[in-house]
Amino acid sequence: MNNDGTMDVVLTDLQGRLNCLMNDGTGRMSKRSCGDTFAFGIELGDIDGDGHLDVVYGAHEYEGSPTGVALNDGTGIFRKSWTLPSINGWGTVPEVAVWDLNEDGKLDIVLSRAGVLYAGTAIEVLENLGEGRFRSQFFPLVEPPAGYDATAEANEWNNFVHSIRFSDVDLDGHTDILLIANGRGPHAAEIHGSILRNSGNMTFEHVRNRTAGNPVKVIEESRFLDDPKLILSRLEPAQGAPTVTSASRAFQSAIKGLEVPDSDMASYVDIPDPIQLPESGAAIVGVKDFQMSQGRGSFGLLISWGGELLPIEVCVESYLANKFTAYRVRFSESGFGGVSAFNEVGTHSCMGQPGYAGDWELAPEGERMGIRALLRDISTHGKSIIVGLPELSDQEKIGVISDIY
């Protein structure tokens, strides 16, 4: 960033600042604030051609965070900025990339754009004309119907481009733009593995994957996994009886004196070698109603914990694009062991149903009652728990866990 021959790092803090990690030449990095820019996606490139790397940045234009270029003053500080024009209705800019697409020596900019709550997918190509001027070409790739009003990021029109790569894939001498998105969902085929084919002179044509003119072959993610048997053996859960931990003691005293209604234990499939959960000290001894598909679903577990046998219900929502899987437990109504005193713990929703909570969103009393330790165990060992269930074949287990981040 300061042209002293050692590689530095630029980070966005998502709060209006750029932070630079400056390398002293031995690999020791010192952190300093190096600009006032709100950004989600950033990329480095010398956009003004003065020999110093600048930062191209994008965020949510409709929330007052313009897309632009922060200019390096030569010392690794970004004082000045060029704001790039916004595009009405396409103000989400989750990914930015730079490449000299017409080989005129000036780096051009490619933006991934989406609508509010990621409804709709588009690409903008900005040709660098020099001196802060750009010529825009806009390519809407998936457009929601007119009047569509998204209520959540999880909507059928969300297939945003999360990575942009450059390569001359058709070997005609012009660098093409490769688009990488979530490979699932109703519009994945239009976006994932598609290209903006460069015909020279900054003319581009969108070519879907698996169509003539697009030689990109998408290889299923599962092909990159190890031997399935190895995956399962690596995820094998700990087995054994419940143990006494500080969380199990806390839970035992919390449940003391509460009425634990009888449950229909016979409806659970027995787990002959119970799955041990290390932090809470609980052991999973039964399972029922296992239903998982495309990274979402629920199942019932029978756990032995704090001297009680309790039925609980686990709800799973996996967000591959966000690299996060939410494991929540149900506390409402017949939820957590059927004990009504726990109902109010379930302050969040899962798959549209209220009365759930995960460890990261649990109210403080959950800590006191030891429940957070159990939820943390389920979050941390979610895949191992699934691998330890007797109901599923190896093939089914591999299918389910490969859908979960």
Binding site for Ca ion (CB under 5 A): 2, 4, 6, 8, 46, 48, 50, 52, 54, 100, 102, 104, 106, 108, 168, 170, 172, 174, 176
Query: Which of 101/345 has CB closer to Ca ion?
Result: 101
* In the complex, minimum distance from the CB of residue 29 to Ca ion, in angstroms, rounded to a whole number: 10
* In the complex, minimum distance from the CB of residue 128 to Ca ion, in angstroms, rounded to a whole number: 5
Query: Which of 8/317 has CB closer to Ca ion?
Result: 8
Residue in the structure block whose two tokens are 């593995």: 193
* In the complex, minimum distance from the CB of residue 107 to Ca ion, in angstroms, rounded to a whole number: 6
Query: Which of 168/289 has CB closer to Ca ion?
Result: 168
Q: Largest Cα–Cα distance in the chain?
A: 78
Query: Which of 111/292 has CB closer to Ca ion?
Result: 111
Phi, psi of 403 (to 5 degrees): -85, -10
Query: Which of 10/404 has CB closer to Ca ion?
Result: 10
Q: Which of 253, 264, 363, 255 is nearest to 311 (CA)?
A: 264
CA distance 325 to 117: 19
* In the complex, minimum distance from the CB of residue 211 to Ca ion, in angstroms, rounded to a whole number: 15
CA 211 to chain centre: 29
Q: Which two tokens stand for residue 225?
A: 């996994």
- Checking 19-22 for CB contacts under 8 A at 24+ apart, the result is 20/76, 22/76
Residue in the structure block whose two tokens are 């990095």: 29
- Residue 395: Cβ-neighbour burial (10 angstroms; 0-12, 13-18, 19+): exposed
* In the complex, minimum distance from the CB of residue 103 to Ca ion, in angstroms, rounded to a whole number: 7
Phi-psi region of 322 (alpha: psi -120 to 50; beta: other; left: phi over 0): alpha
Q: How far apart are the first and last CA of the chain?
A: 34
Query: Which of 25/352 has CB closer to Ca ion?
Result: 25
CA distance 399 to 225: 12
* In the complex, minimum distance from the CB of residue 178 to Ca ion, in angstroms, rounded to a whole number: 11
* In the complex, minimum distance from the CB of residue 56 to Ca ion, in angstroms, rounded to a whole number: 11
DSSP string, 364-399: THHHHTTHHHHHHHHHHTHHHHHHT-TTS-HHHHHH
Query: Which of 186/215 has CB closer to Ca ion?
Result: 215
